[in-house]
Amino acid sequence: MFTHPLDDHAQLRPLEPWQAPEFLAHIDRARPLVDPWIPWASRSTDLATAATTLQRYADLASSDSGRIYGIWLDGVLVGGVMFTRFDSASGVCELGCWLEEAGRGHGLVTRACRALIDWAFTERGMHRVEWWVASGNTRSIASARRLGMSREGVLRQRYPHRGLRHDSEVWSVLAHEWPPEEDRSAPVSGDRAEIDRLVGLFMNCFTNTGGRKPDLRIIRELFVPEGSIVSNTGDDPVIMDLDAFVEPRQKMLTDGTLTEFSEWEVSERTEIFGSVAHRFAEYRKSGVRNGARFEGHGHKTTQFLRTLTGWRMLSMAWDDEPDRLPE
């Protein structure tokens, strides 16, 4: 069984029927997050049904029409990615993913999906990779965006789940749109993995989609105590210490002013020299502000220091393009 490293602590490996006990324990942990979005999650409730789910994918793999892979973090299964459909004759396949809480904030799904898309395009000669997602699954939509996919449309009330009908969005990336080999991200290790983790935790702490309660207090742990954050979105830059940044945003994200909010990186360039590092990133965001839905994007520059307790953020500055209504 092959192992594909995602970073120093995480691996991508095939999931097979003999792993049903481990898979079931993982799905029981992940169920609150994945059950609304992954159909087989609600059907994998005991050892027999978990084995049936994995056997179905084993049968798909044997006919070259689907596959399933797990993501292990420090030896624990925390999520996975899958080809729910793989049609080599038409050159079209469909990719999906899932993750339990313990796997969040590490960029694992993005790296795992990139590995599968690379394989589909370069090894199998596929032409198109699709991503079908429920319109309410904002995390999965954010993953599609990070992978550089294009949103093609919405199929209204396409399928029923627990008494409600849900819309499906269709995203895709074509072979000629996928970055060439020299531009692809190599497996991340060491210092870079730790910096990626810090950025992931920072971006994730603002999310309040699906009733999730954000907790910005973690920002004080990600930065050195003297850290500063600069907003340069108006006529004059606003330079804040950590308290000045955290407190009003915590209030706005919990008092109903800003709901269904998330933000994510779409591209980044990270440079490390000894005990200092710099990251320049483009990011996007979406949410509902005072009842009105919006989307936006901008750029961030972040500086890092290696301290006795590991890498920490030193400063961050950002500039946004004006918010826009979604298309």
Number of structural domains (the chain) is 2
pLDDT of residue 38: 80
Tell me which residue has tokens 């930065």: 223
Structure-block tokens of residue 61: 């793999």
Q: Please report the sign of the dihedral spanned by the C-alpha atoms of residue 278, residue 209, residue 10, residue 14.
A: negative
81 shares its domain with 169: yes
18 shares its domain with 101: yes
140 shares its domain with 24: yes
Give me the phi and psi of 16, to 5 degrees please: -125, 160
Collect all residues with Cβ–Cβ distance below 8 Å to 4 and sequence separation of at least 6: 11, 12, 13, 115
Domain of residue 166, CATH code: 3.40.630.30
Quick check: is 84 in a domain? yes
81 shares its domain with 173: yes
Q: How far does Cα 222 stand from its chain's mean position?
A: 19
pLDDT of residue 153: 81
Tens digit of pLDDT per residue, the chain (327 long)? 578 898 888 999 999 999 999 999 999 999 888 877 787 777 898 999 999 999 999 999 999 999 999 999 999 999 999 999 999 999 999 999 999 988 887 888 989 999 999 999 999 999 999 999 887 777 788 788 778 888 888 888 888 777 778 788 899 999 998 876 545 444 444 788 788 889 988 988 998 887 788 889 999 999 999 999 999 887 789 999 999 999 999 999 999 999 988 888 888 899 999 899 999 999 888 889 999 988 888 999 999 999 887 899 999 999 988 755 444
13 shares its domain with 76: yes
pLDDT of residue 181: 59
Q: 288 lies in which domain range?
A: 190-320
Quick check: is 325 in a domain? no
- Among 149, 183, 217, the domain-final residue is 183
The CA distance from 189 to 174, in Å, is 29
Against a cut of 0.85, is the pTM above it? Answer: no
231 shares its domain with 290: yes
pLDDT of residue 1: 57
pLDDT of residue 188: 44
Name 154's bridge partners. Answer: 169
Quick check: is 326 in a domain? no
Domain of residue 261, CATH code: 3.10.450.50
- Among 133, 153, 183, the domain-final residue is 183
How many residues are present in the chain? Answer: 327
pLDDT of residue 309: 79
